Structure 1
Amino acid sequence: MTPDFDISHIVHAPQRIDPAFLDSPVLTNAALDAAIGCHVLAKAELANPIGCFKGRGADLFCAVALEAGEPVVSASAGNFGQGLAYATNRRGHACTVFAASQANPVKVEAMRKLGANVRLVGADFDAAKDAARRHATQTGQRWVEDGAEAAVADGAGTIALELIAAAPFDVLVVPLGNGALLDGVGHVVRARAPQARIIAVVAANAPAMKLSLEAGRAVATEQADTIADGIAVRVPIPSTLGRLRACCDDVVAVSEHDLFLAMCLIHRTLGVMVEPAAAAGVAAMLTEPERYAGLRVATILTGANISPALRARLLAA
């Protein structure tokens, strides 16, 4: 655990977060357990106003880190942008979100419906982030970087408080994008369930975070070409790496094939349709079943905002 971690921020966070994002269910299924060889506890962050976990951190950030009426600028693959749009709209802030030109159209349309001014710029998320940062500097608006804001991580950490209260687990397997989720839940588990191991999961086609945590420095990649847009990081945030490394025991990579297999397995056994990043934890279990055999393994189904093409592919599988 990092020396500056204070769990009280997360313990008190639910008082500031819209209740619509709290107390998500933990899903279990005997057929899922049998397919993997362990007991899976799937925290489903799906049935809320934006269909993903990002509302927790975005709403907390807007509650504690913004001045009244302060406009914000951010970049997103779509889910954090939805959370920020939802939170700023209900709290009276203007919100501009930059996304890649090829961003998931379902997420883009949702951000716009929630009130964000969405600008499509660049070939990928990190290119859109560069443009967003420049825009924030030029306009003097508040720059909000998912993964770098403490309140965003604290909001995500409330997921772990609920998981620990729901059932004991031996391992927590966490999808790893820019790191707010791992930062929040990882530090809570270190403090409240220190016996549990924490495994972070990246897409093999977007390995920058794994390479960076293993090297102890930011390692950018030329591409992040994965169906899991929610964890498609090409350029890590250097200042966060120390905190992230302190709250996970290992970082693993999963293939595109296993991400899709995990989506299919989740759909078949749990009856929910998740986007690829949300299936990363189950994909990790499928990749290395011997690692989890006989254990109680928790994971987080982070979102349900699947692209139309992937939805059609999943339904046809």
Structure 2
Amino acid sequence: MTLDFDISKMIDARQRIDPAFLGSPVLTDAALDAAIGCSVLAKAELANPIGCFKGRGADLFCSTALQARESVVCASAGNFGQGLAYATNRRGHACTVFAASQANPVKVEAMRRLGANVRLVGADFDAAKAAARDHAEQTGQRWVEDGAEAAIAEGAGTIALELIEATPFDVLVVPLGNGALLDGVGEVVRALAPQACIIAVVAANAPAMKLSLEAGRAVATEHADTIADGIAVRVPIPSTLGRLRACCDDVVAVSEDSLFEAMRLIHRTLRVVVEPAAAAGLAAMLAEPERYAGLRVATVLTGGNISPALRARLLAA
């Protein structure tokens, strides 16, 4: 996938993705705007069959990149695995998902309920990913790497297409994990709303993607200890970094406290429960309010598959 944008491909993508994942609402609230000091436009990828944005890219991938009955293997913190499980199940493919031994139990159960063979291996996502890749090589099944497949990014890009059609914005603030979301929405925004600034957000406790984009090469870290499991990357995908750097104007890191405070603010004002990675954009606004003052700032609430412990903490706050 390159930054040579082809609108016909995006239109075709929307025709191929299960409509259940399309047309997500843009949530706004005056109290939220007042708390941040800007107009917040929150594209909420919550009310769909898997409760997150990953279904868009996974369904497009399965509809365009797989042979009939082809089996797939992936690694996931939980949301991409749900998306791939959903898409493969409805299209007649077997799906094996490797996740960390301490993965969010809500996501693990959902992947199994959607038909995936879930294997819990390793201390974190990247350890599970290494095991998944080995399994795919040993069995000859199709290895699907979230962040490296063009169709997955193109599916995510439909979020930006809908956002641009719905409302103007000055800044788009995007959670950054392995990069499929930034890749997809960045390409669309660069082509159709080039005046908008794009800010990517990582967790300060999982800085590998920020370090890598700043260094211009893959920089792995020993740990990725953050409540935001959806963006807890320790080992970046080297081949994607140049493209991702072109898709954003800056990369910022947010603290664990900012992530949780953003979750609280979203719950209080927009009246939805989101997982920590989904709150990363708002956390960035909370951390640097002067940067966004008076602007129309869009972000993506990427999912609501929160762990039971975090849900209890959030609702008690």
Shorter-chain TM-score above 0.5: yes
Equivalent residues in 2 for 1:43-192, closer than 5 Å: 43-192=43-192
Q: Give 2:220's aligned amino acid.
A: A
Shift of 1:95: 0.1
Counterpart in the other structure of 2:299: 299
Distance in 2 separating the partners of 1:6 and 1:58? 20
The TM-score, its normalising length taken from structure 2, stands at 0.99
CA pair 138-157 structure 1, distance change in 2 beyond 3 A? same
Q: Is the 8 A contact 2:5 2:188 kept in 1?
A: no
Distance 1:137 1:35 in 2: 50
CA distance in 1, matches of 2:16, 2:6: 17
Task: Kindly report structure 1 stretches of 4+ aligned residues shifted beyond 4 Å.
Answer: 1-5
1:2 Cα deviation from its structure 2 partner: 4.5
Partner amino acid, structure 1, of 2:78: G
RMSD across aligned positions (CA): 0.9
- Between the aligned partners of 2:16 and 2:199, the Cα distance in structure 1 is 29
For 2:33, the equivalent position in structure 1 comes to 33
What number of residue pairs does the alignment pair up?
A: 317
**2:171 corresponds to which letter in structure 1?**
V
**2:289 maps to what in 1?**
289
Percent sequence identity over aligned pairs: 88
| Contact 2:3–2:187 (CA under 8 A) maintained in structure 1 | no
Number of the residue aligned with 1:244: 244
Q: Which amino acid aligns with 1:112?
A: R
Distance (Å, rounded) in 2 between the aligned partners of 1:241 and 1:300: 21
> Are the equivalent residues in 2 in contact too, given 1:2–1:246 (CA < 8 A)?
no
Distance 1:195 1:24 in 2: 23
Q: Whole-Å Cα distance in 2 between the matches of residues 243 and 24 of structure 1? A: 26
Mark the runs of 5 or more structure 1 residues left unpaired by the alignment: none
CA displacement at 1:10 relative to structure 2: 1.9
**How far did 1:11 drift?**
2.6
Distance 2:149 2:104 in 1: 24
For the residue of structure 2 that corresponds to 1:227, the secondary structure is coil
SS of the residue corresponding to residue 271 of structure 1 reads coil
Partners of 1:206 and 1:225 within 8 A in 2: yes
Q: Take 2:285 and 2:31, find their aligned partners in 1: how far apart are those partners?
A: 14
Deviation, structure 1 residue 39: 0.1
Residue of structure 2 equivalent to 1:214 = 214
Between 4-13 and 136-145, the greater mean CA deviation after superposition = 4-13
- If the length of structure 1 is used for normalisation, what is the TM-score? 0.99
